[in-house]
């Protein structure tokens, strides 16, 4: 199976104002398989967001390497890292943050404008909204959509430019259980039917079984489970 990302002995320390340092990630070695759903679980403060930010080239590790699509992004220039994020990565956050004055279609299209993609916008937006099951609600305003539907629009926005990988940071944390399950089914569909790679952080134990691989963070390292 193809590995899209591999980390080698990642460490992350934050320097605190009082001079101490906080060792948040300790020798993290992990692989993310292409076209699969990888779940990163751990309680609040365990380092999930820190790790995802490093994997997604938003932040640097203190030591260690991230190999992304056969490139060592730890040693790349910021300009190249920026291009990589724009072209190959999609992001979904806990707070959906759709633009309230734009309908679903326009919210998704806006992402293409930001990415500077001019060709086939209509086809791309329509396809992305269909993939998340919102083909019939393309012209609804955010306030006319349920919380789960809004998160589906945010998902369409994250996949519209056909990234290699989508990072979803606690995308179900603000949703009720049934709606969260619905979002998880959409993620499963995106990996299994569309071949999209998804890395999702969650503190929820209940949805772990859906992951192709589950990494559980505790005290800065992974708990082994088989």
Ligand X SMILES: Nc1ncnc2c1ncn2[C@@H]1O[C@H](COP(=O)(O)OP(=O)(O)O)[C@@H](O)[C@H]1O
Residues in the site for Mg ion, rule: CB under 5 A?
A: 48-49
Q: How far is the CB of 163 from ligand X (least distance, A)?
A: 21
Residue 172 is given by DSSP the state T
Work out what residue 148 binds among ligand X, Mg ion, none; the CB cut-off runs from 5 to 8 Å by kind.
Answer: none
Q: Which residues pair with 22 in a beta bridge?
A: 14
Q: Which residue is nearest to Mg ion (CB)?
A: 49
Q: How far is the CB of 218 from ligand X (least distance, A)?
A: 10
Work out what residue 42 binds among Mg ion, ligand X, none; the CB cut-off runs from 5 to 8 Å by kind.
Answer: ligand X
Q: How far is the CB of 5 from ligand X (least distance, A)?
A: 17
Work out what residue 22 binds among ligand X, Mg ion, none; the CB cut-off runs from 5 to 8 Å by kind.
Answer: ligand X
CA–CA separation, 115 and 24 (whole Å): 32
Q: Are 160 and 125 in contact (CB under 8 A)?
A: yes
Closest to Mg ion by CB, 95 vs 146, is 95
Order the strands of the 221-223 sheet from edge to edge: 89-92, 165-169, 197-202, 37-41, 213-218, 221-223
Phi/psi at 221 (5° precision): -130, 175
Closest to Mg ion by CB, 49 vs 103, is 49
Closest to ligand X by CB, 22 vs 114, is 22
- Contact residues toward ligand X (CB under 6 A) are 14, 22, 24, 42, 44-50
Closest to Mg ion by CB, 94 vs 189, is 94
Q: Are 27 and 198 in contact (CB under 8 A)?
A: no
Between the CA atoms of 94, 95, 101 and 102, what dihedral angle is there, to the nearest 10 degrees? 0
């Amino acid at each position: 199976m193809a590995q899209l990302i591999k980390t080698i002995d990642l460490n992350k320390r934050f320097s605190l104002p009082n001079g101490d340092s906080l060792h948040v990630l300790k020798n993290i070695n992990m692989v993310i398989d292409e076209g699969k759903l990888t779940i990163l679980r751990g309680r609040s403060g365990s380092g999930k967001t820190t790790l995802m930010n490093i994997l997604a080239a938003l932040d640097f590790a203190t030591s260690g390497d991230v190999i992304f699509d056969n490139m060592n992004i730890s040693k790349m220039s910021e300009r190249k890292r920026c291009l990589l994020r724009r072209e190959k990565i999609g992001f979904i956050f806990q707070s959906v943050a759709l633009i309230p004055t734009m309908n679903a279609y326009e919210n998704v299209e806006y992402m293409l404008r930001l990415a500077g993609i001019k060709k086939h916008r209509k086809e791309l937006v329509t396809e992305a909204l269909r993939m998340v099951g919102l083909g019939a609600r393309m012209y609804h305003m955010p306030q006319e959509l349920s919380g789960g539907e809004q998160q589906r629009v945010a998902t369409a926005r994250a996949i519209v430019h056909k990234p290699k990988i989508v990072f979803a940071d606690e995308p179900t944390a603000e949703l009720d259980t049934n709606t969260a399950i619905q979002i998880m089914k959409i993620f499963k569909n995106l990996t299994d039917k569309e071949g999209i790679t998804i890395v999702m952080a969650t503190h929820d134990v209940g949805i772990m079984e859906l992951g192709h691989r589950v990494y559980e963070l505790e005290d800065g390292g992974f708990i082994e489970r088989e």
